[in-house]
């Protein structure tokens, strides 16, 4: 059994106006640009997309805005989790009904130290009530944020209960050993890197692609890796692309990552509203923004 290839997917940032309202126009244009720049898909409303800073109705409106602008449903991998089952069902059903390729599902993240039994019930409740053969679930492992890891035992149990539906995992913990262990243990399970520097080693280990933040800015380099990684004659090109993406990734960590990515998008997309974030996140100062922009010029030189 071969895991489905998901390719290069962008953990798309979500633009908001100075008043905090989603800029649907800017978001739709960003999604279309990402696909033109090399992304296979747009993983909207993840951690970089500030999903949990938005209300359920706003999250639906953002997905619909991308579709209205001409993005196809099978190019979208929205995050559709909330801490509670009913709103996760509502968002997941909405995404499936709009043709989303897959839904990226965080575990509920308020309570800590919860059991695999409880997490299984959370995911099972959502899958059973959505009750749609089109549903594909990508689990989302980002324990440094959620403090709620996705264990291999939980994955095994979910795959047994919902074969074909529980299709893969986004692993943002940054540990290639965990990713390769899942590839080895779970045939046909799509393991996606959440960290840009791990795309090449993950593909070499049998991974299915990536969902990353830096692809908001440099999906072209990630796409070079994806298209050429298995061609021995392209080794230099692939290494250069991974080096390039790593440089941009390093810049996104110059300050707090999300505000930095958005400051970079303000320059790349030419709209100052990209600098804004929803509370509790805070935008970079003008001075920080100018420093990041200068570094972008250097990387592009």
Which residues are at the interface with a copy of itself (CB under 8 A)?
Answer: 20, 47, 52-56, 58, 82-87, 90, 107-112, 114-115, 117-119, 121-122, 125, 144-148, 278-282
What strand order describes the sheet that includes 7-10? Answer: 41-42, 7-10, 209-212, 190-193, 166-171, 137-141, 103-105
* Residue 270, φ and ψ in degrees, nearest 5: 75, 35
The DSSP bridge partners found for residue 9 are: 41, 211
Phi–psi pair at 212, nearest 5 degrees: -135, 160
Q: Closest CB to a copy of itself among 56 and 69? A: 56
State which residue, 111 or 204, has the beta carbon closest to a copy of itself: 111
Least distance from a copy of itself to the Cβ atom of residue 110, Å: 4
**Cβ closer to a copy of itself: 51 or 200?**
51
Binding residues for pyruvate: 48, 211
Q: CB neighbours (10 Å) of residue 161?
A: 14
Q: Nearest to residue 228, comparing CAs of 214, 218, 241, 215?
A: 241
Closest distance between a copy of itself and the C-beta of residue 93, in Å?
A: 13
Minimum CB–partner distance for residue 72 and a copy of itself (Å) = 28
Catalytic entry in 60, 140, 262, 267: 140
Q: Is 111 a catalytic residue?
A: no
Catalytic residue among 170, 262, 267, 283, which?
170
Helix axis angle for 116-130 and 152-161, nearest 10°, is: 30
* Residue 170 annotated as catalytic: yes
Question: What are the binding residues?
Answer: 48, 211
Strand partners, 10: 42, 212
Q: How far is the CB of 117 from a copy of itself (least distance, A)?
A: 5
Distance CA 5, CA 10 (A): 15
Please, what is the Cα angle at 132 between 130 and 133, to 5 degrees?
150
Which residue, 270 or 280, is less far from a copy of itself as judged by CB?
A: 280
Q: Among all residues, which ones are annotated catalytic? A: 140, 170
């Amino acid at each position: 059994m071969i895991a489905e290839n998901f390719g290069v997917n962008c953990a798309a940032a979500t633009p908001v106006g100075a008043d905090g309202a989603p800029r649907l126009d800017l978001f739709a244009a960003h999604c279309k640009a990402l696909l033109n720049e090399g992304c296979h898909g747009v993983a909207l409303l993840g951690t970089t997309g500030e999903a949990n800073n938005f209300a359920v109705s706003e999250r639906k409106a953002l997905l619909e805005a991308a579709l209205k602008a001409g993005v196809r449903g099978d190019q979208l991998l929205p995050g559709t989790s909330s801490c509670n089952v009913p709103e996760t069902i509502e968002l997941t059903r909405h995404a499936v009904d709009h043709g989303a390729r897959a839904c990226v599902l965080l575990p509920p993240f308020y309570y800590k130290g919860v059991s695999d039994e409880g997490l299984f019930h959370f995911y099972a409740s959502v899958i059973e009530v959505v009750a749609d053969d089109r549903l594909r679930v990508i689990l989302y492992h980002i324990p440094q944020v959620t403090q709620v890891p996705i264990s291999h035992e939980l994955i095994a149990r979910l795959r047994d209960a919902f074969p074909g539906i529980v299709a893969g995992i986004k692993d943002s913990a940054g540990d290639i050993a965990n990713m390769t262990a899942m590839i080895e243990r779970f045939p046909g399970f799509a393991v996606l890197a959440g960290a840009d520097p791990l795309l090449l080693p993950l593909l070499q280990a049998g991974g299915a692609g990536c969902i990353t933040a830096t692809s908001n800015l440099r999906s072209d380099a990630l796409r070079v890796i994806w298209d050429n990684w298995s061609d021995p004659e392209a080794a230099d090109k692939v290494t250069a692309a991974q080096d390039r993406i790593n440089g941009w990734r390093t810049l996104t960590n110059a300050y707090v990552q999300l505000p930095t990515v958005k400051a970079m998008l303000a320059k790349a997309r030419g709209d100052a509203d990209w600098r804004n974030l929803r509370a509790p996140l805070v935008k970079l100062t003008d001075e920080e923004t100018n420093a990041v922009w200068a570094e972008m010029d250097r990387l592009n030189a």
